[in-house]
Structure 1
Amino acid sequence: MDLGPVMVGDWYHGYYETVLDALLRPLPVANIPMSNNNLINGENDFDCSNTSLPCTPNAPLATFNFTSGKTCKLRFINPSAAAVQKITIDGHMMQVTANDFVEIQPYETDHITLAVGQRTDVLVKATGKPTDAVWMRSYKPPPCWPTNCGDEMKAAIFYENADRFQVPTTSPGPNAYN
């Protein structure tokens, strides 16, 4: 089951020209702009009190559908301006099958790390029960890029008979934040 591309990237609640002007000032006044949020497929909530720009309160999170016993293909892409992304799916392993255009020997892992512009294809075995719901997590490690907030983003993965009105309650794996 091919779930298609999954865009995982940072977001700035500022106008492009303002962010770029701050970054391109001559030294020593150059200002590395800090990202404000992290998005999966362009979705995540944001505290609108932190910006004067247009903002939608209580914005939805991205969701994905798994079917018990099936294998799902996800194509992760990091379109970030600057942030490295660390991606995990609570309670699931991923088999990395492709990394950009470089041939690789497929391997299993509980997390992937994507640099800016990097793409990775993974296969995930849907090992949960039909009523399960789990979190997909994307994390911007702070040492890799400065941030104001929004270091972590979550998307809900619902199995075929999960209650879609209840958010997942799963916990991150051991490598989600290291």
Structure 2
Amino acid sequence: MNAGTIRKLTAPLVAAALAVGAAACGSSDDAADAGSGDATEQPASGDVTVADAWVREPAAGQTLAAGYGTITNGSDEDITLIGASAPIAATFEIHETSMSDDGNMSMSEKQGGFEIAAGESFTLEPGGPHVMMSDIDPAGFDGPIDLTFVFDSTEVTTSAELRAIGDAMEGMETEDGES
């Protein structure tokens, strides 16, 4: 096995470790009032939906969690994911994950957010783009979480499933397509 293959195979594990051990990020958004929605899809103004939303519970002693899901822009205008909120978290950032030439994975705030073209979908996933929540109270993680995705022109609130840390690896695939 060459070094490139090893990096590709270990990237999901590194991403999970980053999500568990990352330091709290510096900027914050005011938490918006969040209503409840359907766990698989919540229509909103302009036909923007979020399907399969879920949140990884924080590791023991941590005040960080990450949120994921698939955003579909059914409108005829491009939109940009610029933030998020939930009643359980104080600080939110939209993050991207990148791999350096030497195989080190890092995550950082995505300045300007993620643009989703009209008629397109965009997936927030472990090892990739995600919503980072910091300064949270882990005691608030006891079931589905009302998670609001904030766009430049609308907001979508959905009930995000809570998944244990081991379940966070679910759906991540290696280079050969195996989980």
Using the size of structure 1 for normalisation, the TM-score is 0.36
Work out which structure has the larger RCO, using CA pairs closer than 8 Å and 6 or more positions apart in sequence: 2
1 or 2, which has the higher helix percentage?
2
Using the size of structure 2 for normalisation, the TM-score is 0.36
